Homo-oligomer: A and B are copies of this chain.
């Protein structure tokens, strides 16, 4: 497919359903993709943080991209995370994603290593030169421990290195600097700015974001499509109301007991429990070494769903 420039709309970071043995559950993954497409989403992002990419082996990553790209069959753009520590390893993932049918790759700055801004720029240039696909920068300081500064993103965009940004930094001011700065890029209009927020999607769209990549869209894709449409129609009040409803639903990420588990176990556990309770995936297991939700915690997820009319 010709990759849309810019890519607009709702692009859920697709959860990776697992079997009780922690293998990729291909049937559930296909069912989840159908659930998302039926709700009218505009693209799919596989192998992101919400997809538990950090936990998937190379074989599992390949299977996820093949399954998604094969099932979507060009009806929507499929972006794939190529998440690893440094350039050579990212390039291996990017080539595998391309071979498996991805339409674009999403890449963070190097992590685990000590990085310098000049090395980050070099990293993206080398990845773009070798990936054979459009490259989106993935700004996720909570994981990467480096913030991608707006100047760096814009200068790499101006060079043609970056096709877009997926911003999960939580820093809307810096995201705005990219959004407004991108208007003046050569070949204007081609650069895509996506927010990874679940809770300020209305604000991000109002200031010019092209699209949104909320993990919660796995659970309620129709809600985010509705929110996107309200924003596109300029209905600020309606958008705010829908966003606030989704914020309430998003409360489910906190069901896990912080004395027993980390934020990832709680949030991804809740999304998967919700998909399981809604009958979309066959098993709510998360990857190792994440801790499973207790029965009571799953019940609380159910209450969030019921409150949102999703059960």
Q: Which chain A residues have a beta carbon within 8 Å of chain B's beta carbons?
A: 22, 54-58, 60, 83, 85-89, 92, 110-116, 118-120, 122-123, 126, 142-145, 170-173, 176-177, 180, 197-200, 202-203, 206-207, 234, 236, 240, 243-244, 247, 258-265, 287-291
Contacts and interface: CB of A to CB of B under 8 A. Distances in A.
Given A202-B207, A206-B240, A143 B287 contact: no
24 contacts: A22-B88, A54-B113, A55-B86, A56-B88, A58-B58, A86-B287, A87-B287, A87-B288, A87-B289, A111-B112, A112-B144, A113-B264, A114-B143, A116-B258, A116-B262, A116-B265, A119-B262, A122-B289, A122-B291, A126-B289, A170-B170, A173-B199, A180-B247, A207-B243
A207 to B, nearest CB: 6
Nearest to A87: B288
Contacts of A114: 142-143, 262-264
A118 B87 contact: no
A88 B200 contact: no
B176 A247 contact: yes
Contacts of A207: 200, 202-203, 240, 243
B122 A288 contact: yes
Contact of A119 (B56, B172, B290): B290
Contacts of A87: 55, 287-289
Given A112-B143, A240-B207, A89 B199 contact: no
A293 to B, nearest CB: 13
A5 to B, nearest CB: 23
